[in-house]
């Protein structure tokens, strides 16, 4: 492709094309793009361990920005920490002492780990430090600092001058009796107790540009206000918008062209509906893709683990940082880039074959990219190549990295237990060359280490095994005389020559099966029982190669 993604059907390229066309016909967006470029935006409240579901949004937005740049569009992905949000749910994993901070902005709470400026800083940076590993390129911002720097001052004044209209919008979409239909659309930080989740702003003076507020003792059931009543400026970090107003206010402030979110925000009449109405009617700004001034558009679906939805504030699910314990970041990125945002991802790496299927799918896409495998449908083939480009972390090499099937790698690491021994075995079997580059060697070692961890910690029982040092009598008792005789003949045969190939092993097995007049199934069952003490296992000829012909012969020689 002369221009990456030029005729691509990949969802990120299609979104890039749609947004580009929007900017050509919308004068406001056209001006913003000319001045700032295409801003792809996302935000996250650092209320605890950030789960992989949030990571899905980050990789969706990063892929869109990448697709835009591939098309020659000036684009960047900005991710903001909503660190000025109030602490409103106590996570069971937290020290009980944190209960006293309920209602206070996350950026004003102490970090649970030394070395970080705040609670928000710790949980957000914990994820950001993984971005290079995931191939995410993002400009990192702080919503709290945006308020402090006065970036939102203009929209704060506009919102307060139009408070009645915003209350009407809330009335239009919110349940009856919602506090948002009555109060001013601003939450000051209490000057006495520092809480932001308990304050109620009730009067705006447009001449002095100050607000009057109370820190209500019983306004919310998760935090208690101190009762203080005061008057303050709403600017420069002294206050923040309620979430739905803030969402709308950020769009013109930052110049956002794209911001998708999870479907919980896109429910009919939900936060996205309120935000686009405020953006349209109060700030006169075209809501970012996938929304328009009148339609919310489609959200991205959840990333669930074993069907369970995750929550940052409740400490539920697998975190963004911990997910790389199960699979390398480049494969997780591949999973998210390959899957359409509107499709649910249910990925349970523990006790299932999901990891195997992910590796197999990735390897197939990689072979297609390098022309080692072809698809009859050329559009589908080009799509697979584009998936590889958008999901690849770091530079794409000119030659295809060595591929070791994951199940083979898993079996090999259970036999050898050491990566150096495994590398030697792979050279012996012809999977890799003796002259392998250090880069390719590291690539193989990474897969071997993940395969070892998966086999020992996460794999279903059928993929786990232990090599017998000697064959237990209980195993011998399970074998018929003909099976024992066949195994002894096989043992004698492989003891007579230095090294056979897998094809030669297969031929020897066939000859012995014919001589003994036993079913092939019986021979293989007997061999697996003798070597693994299980009736099934990896491909027998491959297992012998992994274990080594000499060691296989020695194990079989202990058969009574």
CATH number, residue 543: 1.10.10.350
Write out the chain's pLDDT in tens, 560 residues: 446 767 778 999 999 999 999 999 999 999 999 999 999 999 999 998 888 888 999 999 999 999 999 999 999 999 999 999 999 998 877 899 999 999 999 999 999 999 999 999 999 999 999 999 999 999 999 999 999 999 999 999 999 999 999 999 999 998 776 888 899 999 999 999 999 999 999 999 999 999 999 999 999 999 999 999 999 999 999 999 999 999 999 999 999 999 999 998 998 889 999 999 999 999 999 999 999 999 999 999 988 877 555 444 444 457 888 899 999 999 999 999 999 999 999 888 888 999 999 999 999 999 999 999 999 999 999 999 999 999 999 899 999 999 999 999 999 999 998 999 999 999 988 899 999 999 999 999 999 999 999 999 999 999 999 999 999 888 888 999 999 999 999 999 999 877 899 999 999 999 999 999 999 999 999 999 999 999 999 999 999 999 999 999 999 999 98
> Residue 370's closest CA among 338, 397, 337?
397
pLDDT digits (tens, 9 = 90+) for 391-400: 999 899 999 9
Claim to verify: residue 453 and residue 501 sit in the same structural domain: no
The alpha carbon of 113 is separated from its chain's Cα centroid by a whole number of angstroms, namely 24
**Which residue intervals of 37-109 are DSSP H helices?**
52-70
pLDDT value for 314: 44
Beta carbons within 8 Å of 10's beta carbon, 6+ residues apart: 67, 383, 386, 387, 390
The tokens of 134 are what?
Answer: 């995931």
User: Is 447 a domain residue?
Assistant: yes
Residue 81's SS3 state is strand
Residue 111 resides in a domain? no
Last residue of a domain, one of 463, 498, 532: 463
- Tell me: do 425 and 483 sit in the same domain: no
530 and 477 in one domain?
A: yes
Residue 278 lies in a domain: no
Q: Assess whether 491 and 533 both reside in one domain.
A: yes
pLDDT at 414: 95
Note the pLDDT tens digit of each residue in 314-348: 444 578 888 999 999 999 999 999 999 999 998 88
Query: Residue 168 falls within a domain, yes or no?
Result: no
Predicted local distance difference test score (pLDDT) of residue 560: 81
Query: Residue 103 corresponds to which tokens in the numbers above?
Result: 């209602």
Contact 458, 349 (CB under 8 A): yes
Is 451 found in the same domain as 508? Answer: no
Structural domains in the chain (count): 3
Can you say whether the dihedral through the CA atoms of 266, 269, 270, 272 is positive or negative?
Answer: positive
**Which pTM value belongs to this model?**
0.92
Give the span between the Cα atoms of 516 and 482, in whole angstroms: 7
Which of left, alpha, beta for 150 (phi over 0: left; psi -120 to 50: alpha)? left
CA distances (Å), origin 422, targets 7, 81, 360: 43, 44, 20
Q: Give the residue among 250, 290, 245, 242 at the shortest CA–CA distance from 266.
A: 290
- What proportions of the chain, in percent to the nearest 5, are helix, strand and coil? 50, 10, 40
Residues 448 and 430 in one domain: yes
What domain range is 528 assigned to? 473-556
Tell me whether residue 505 is in a domain. Answer: yes
Residue 545 domain-assigned (yes or no): yes
Q: Are residues 457 and 483 in the same domain?
A: no
Report residue 295: phi and psi, to 5°.
-120, 140
What does the pLDDT look like over 467-490, one tens digit per residue? 999 998 888 889 999 999 999 999
Last residue of a domain, one of 445, 463, 481: 463
Per-residue confidence (pLDDT) for residue 58, from 0 to 100: 96
| The last residue of a domain, from among 214, 240, 266 | 240
**How many angstroms separate the CA atoms of 76 and 82, rounded?**
19
Tell me the C-alpha distance between 549 and 544, whole Å: 6
Residue 506 and residue 441 share a domain: no
Residues 458 and 477 placed together within one structural domain of the fold: no
Regarding whether 459 and 478 lie in a shared domain, the answer is no
* 481 falls within a domain: yes
Helix (H, G, I), strand (E, B) or coil at 502: helix
> For tokens 């079997």, what's the residue?
429
Structure tokens at 141: 């911002």
Q: If you search the block for the tokens 């959840």, which residue do you land on?
A: 302
| 545 and 521 inside one domain | yes
Reduce the DSSP state of residue 140 to 3 states and report it.
strand
- 114 located within any domain: no
pLDDT at 21: 98
Residues 458 and 516 grouped into a single domain: no
Q: Look-up: residue for tokens 């990192």?
A: 140
The pLDDT, as a whole number, for residue 311 is 47
């Amino acid at each position: 492709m002369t221009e990456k993604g030029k005729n691509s059907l990949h969802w990120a390229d299609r979104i890039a094309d749609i947004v580009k066309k929007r900017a050509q016909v919308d004068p406001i967006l056209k001006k913003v793009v000319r001045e700032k470029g295409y801003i792809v935006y996302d935000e996250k409240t650092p209320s605890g361990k950030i789960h992989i579901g949030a990571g899905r949004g980050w990789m969706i937005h990063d892929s869109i920005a990448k697709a835009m740049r591939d098309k020659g569009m000036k684009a960047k992905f900005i991710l903001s920490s909503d660190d000025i949000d109030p602490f409103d749910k106590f996570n069971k994993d937290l020290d009980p002492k944190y209960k006293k901070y309920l209602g206070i902005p996350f950026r004003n709470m102490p970090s649970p780990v030394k070395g970080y400026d705040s609670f928000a800083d710790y949980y957000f940076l914990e994820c950001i430090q993984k971005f290079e590993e995931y191939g995410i390129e993002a400009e990192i911002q702080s919503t709290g600092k945006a308020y402090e720097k006065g970036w939102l001052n203009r929209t704060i004044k506009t919102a307060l001058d139009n408070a009645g209209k915003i209350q009407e919008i809330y009335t239009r979409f919110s349940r009856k009796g919602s506090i948002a239909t009555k109060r001013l659309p601003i939450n000051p930080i209490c000057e006495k107790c520092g809480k932001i989740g308990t304050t109620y702003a009730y009067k705006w003076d447009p001449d002095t540009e100050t607000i009057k507020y109370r820190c209500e003792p019983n306004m919310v059931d998760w935090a208690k206000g101190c009762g203080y009543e005061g008057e303050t400026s709403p600017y420069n970090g002294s206050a923040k918008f309620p979430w739905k107003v803030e969402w709308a206010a950020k769009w013109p402030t930052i110049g956002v062209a794209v911001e998708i979110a999870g479907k919980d925000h896109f429910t009919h009449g939900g936060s996205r509906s309120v935000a686009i109405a405020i953006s349209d009617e109060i700030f006169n700004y075209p809501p970012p893709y996938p929304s328009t001034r009148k339609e919310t558009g489609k959200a991205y679906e959840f990333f669930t683990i074993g069907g369970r939805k995750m929550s940052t504030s409740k400490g539920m699910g697998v975190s963004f940082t911990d997910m790389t314990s199960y699979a390398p970041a480049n494969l997780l990125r591949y999973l998210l880039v390959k899957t359409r945002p509107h499709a649910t991802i249910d990925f349970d790496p523990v006790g299932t074959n999901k990891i195997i299927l992910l590796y197999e799918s990735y390897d197939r896409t990689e072979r297609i990219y390098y022309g080692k495998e072809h698809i009859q449908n050329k559009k589908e083939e080009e799509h697979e190549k584009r998936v590889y480009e958008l999901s690849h972390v770091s530079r794409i090499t000119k030659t295809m990295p060595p591929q070791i099937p994951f199940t083979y790698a898993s079996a090999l690491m259970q036999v050898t237990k050491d990566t150096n021994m495994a590398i030697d075995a792979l050279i012996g079997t012809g999977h890799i060359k003796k002259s392998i580059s250090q880069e390719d060697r590291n690539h193989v070692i990474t897969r071997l280490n993940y395969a070892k961890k998966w086999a020992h910690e996460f794999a279903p029982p059928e993929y786990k095994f232990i090599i017998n040092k000697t064959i237990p009598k209980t195993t011998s008792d399970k074998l018929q005389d003909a099976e024992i005789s066949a195994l002894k003949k096989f043992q004698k045969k492989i003891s007579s020559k230095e090294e056979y190939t897998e094809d030669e092993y297969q031929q020897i097995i066939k000859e012995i099966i014919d001589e003994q007049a036993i079913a092939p199934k019986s021979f293989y069952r007997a061999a697996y029982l003798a070597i693994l003490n299980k009736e099934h296992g990896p491909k027998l000829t491959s297992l012998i190669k992994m274990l080594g012909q000499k060691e296989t012969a020695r194990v079989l020689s202990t058969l009574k």
